[in-house]
Amino acid sequence: MADMSASASLAMTHLVPLAKELDEDKVTPGVLGFIVFAVMALAVWGLMKSMNRHMGRVDFPEASEERKPEPTAADSRG
């Protein structure tokens, strides 16, 4: 347990100077943020293409005006 806290302490001492170099008024997502955004954009684009393809295959029967509506249980009781 003591070994873990020593390594965490050592890591923090190495990260503190790096944090001081960053401009405190400027926050950017960086390369990782861009990559995540690009992957999500590609996934949404692929899903939209797939949805378009699947919606094109759907064939809804159109109700014609000449056809009478089917009688319901309330109509048959009279």
Summarize pLDDT for 29-76 with one digit per residue, the tens: 889 999 999 999 999 999 999 999 999 998 888 877 666 666 676 666
Is 90 exceeded by the pLDDT of residue 5?
no
Tokens 């048959």 found at: 76
Is 70 exceeded by the pLDDT of residue 78?
no
Q: Which is higher by pLDDT, 9 or 19?
A: 9
- The pLDDT value given to residue 73: 66
Name, in order, each residue with C-beta under 8 angstroms of 19's C-beta and a sequence gap of 6 or more.
none
- The pLDDT value given to residue 1: 47
